[in-house]
Structures are given as C-alpha cells and as structure tokens.
A and B are shown apart, each in its own frame.
Chain A
Amino acid sequence: DMKVTQMPRYLIKRMGENVLLECGQDMSHETMYWYRQDPGLGLQLIYISYDVDSNSEGDIPKGYRVSRKKREHFSLILDSAKTNQTSVYFCASSLDWGAYEQYFGPGTRLTVL
C-alpha cells in the first residue's frame, strides 16, 4: 500500500522549544520533501532530500534543518521554535526528483505559543 505517514498529527509547543516532525514512506522513493502551508500562501518548499544524507535547501530553509538517515524516513527539526513557524507541515515523496508524481502525507498541524 503506497503511503506517506507523518507523526505527530497535531503538536503544541512553546516558543524556544525544539520540535521534531517525522515522516515515513513505504514506496522506496528516492526523493522526499518538506513543505509548509499557510492560508493564502500555497505550499512553500522547505527542504528536498534526494536520498540518504543528500539534502538541499528549498525556498524557506531558515529556522529548519532536516535529517535523512534511512531512505524511508525524513525528519524536520526546528531548533528553538518561533511563533511564526506555526503552520501545517506536509511531507511528500516521489520516485525521483523532477517530473514525477508526489505523494503527500496527512500533514502535521504545529502551533507554537
């Protein structure tokens, strides 16, 4: 079953706390992505991972870092979260980068107080 999972689905943190968002996929896809979605702003790409330990900044990487130690798992880390990082975060995966369908996870709604 082709699936992208995200944990947790909902998270409330205080400003300055560290945040770990986790994403998994069972399709052996090489490429994985982290996006954030804010009302009226569509999807903003935070990071792309082309494979294990091969990550690249997207459009809004500041304040975020990522880790990919296994092909099926991609983490987004917020060190010292800020209130403007309150958003819905989506993970996605695709067979390869570029012209391939992306499969999206269910999203994580993060609130930073």
Chain B
Amino acid sequence: GEKVEQHESTLSVREGDSAVINCTYTDTASSYFPWYKQEAGKSLHFVIDIRSNVDRKQSQRLIVLLDKKAKRFSLHITATQPEDSAIYFCAASRSNNRIFFGDGTQLVVKP
C-alpha cells in the first residue's frame, strides 16, 4: 500500500518567518493530499488539501505544492504566528481508497 513519509519530525521557526513541511509518497496513483493540524492536547482538524489536477493551492497563509514527478508535496506556512504551533500531518490517497497519514511534524513558532 501507500507509504507517506514526513521528513521533518520537528521544525522550529521564528515568528514571522515561513515554515515548510515536506512529505513524500510512494503510490503513483495517489491523487488526493490533505493536511491536518493537531494543537497540543487536542484533536486533529483539516487545514488544506490539494488534488493531483493542480500543482499549487493557497488558502490565506497556507500554500500547498505538489510535484507528482518526484512524488513530493509540501505545506508552506507564511508569516508564522504562535498559534501555528502544532503537529501537522500530511496524508495521501487514491480517489477510491483509504487515506494514509504521515507520522507528523511538530512545528514550534518561537516569539
């Protein structure tokens, strides 16, 4: 099955800087790539996704890039704020299959 890897287990940035979290996947048929955020002691919630028919998607300060050739996608958070501190999970799936999650990246935004 699909295997999703998150390259950074932890990432520390200064408030106002950009943060980039990188993921790779193995299944060339994967076409849906969501990102979830988990704040300390809380549950996960969806933040943004991208489908394979585009290579870039932006929602306010969040940008997702998809490189299908390299089987790589990334989450860019611009102008980071303390409330961006959380664990971010990337995931991948085919259109008709379950979602596979990465192990998570702990983002720390330092003031």
Residues of A whose CB lies within 8 Å of any CB of B are 40-43, 45, 48, 58, 90, 92, 97-99, 101-107
Q: Are A99 and B32 in contact (CB under 8 A)?
A: yes
Q: How many A-B contacts at CB < 8 Å in the complex?
A: 51
Q: Are A98 and B101 in contact (CB under 8 A)?
A: no
Q: Are A90 and B44 in contact (CB under 8 A)?
A: yes
Closest residue of chain A to B96, judged by CB? A98
Which residues from chain A contact B84 at a C-beta distance below 8 Å? none
Q: Report B70 CB to chain A, min CB distance, Å.
A: 21
Which residues from chain A contact B45 at a C-beta distance below 8 Å? 103-104
Q: Assign chain B's interface to a size class.
A: 20 to 34
Contact with A along B55-94 (1 / 0, CB 8 A): 0000000000000000000000000000000000100011
Residues of B whose CB lies within 8 Å of any CB of A are 31-32, 34, 36, 42-46, 49, 51, 89, 93-99, 101-104
Known: A48-B98, A104-B44. A99 touches B31 (CB 8 A): yes
Q: Are B51 and A99 in contact (CB under 8 A)?
A: yes
Closest residue of chain B to A42, judged by CB? B103
Known pairs A98-B32, A102-B44; list 15 more (Cβ under 8 Å): A42-B89, A43-B89, A97-B96, A97-B98, A98-B96, A98-B98, A99-B51, A99-B94, A101-B46, A101-B49, A102-B34, A102-B99, A104-B36, A106-B42, A107-B43
Which residues from chain B contact A104 at a C-beta distance below 8 Å? 36, 43-45
Docked pose: A42 CA to B9 CA in angstroms: 11
Closest residue of chain B to A107, judged by CB? B43
Q: Are B43 and A106 in contact (CB under 8 A)?
A: yes
Q: Are B101 and A43 in contact (CB under 8 A)?
A: yes
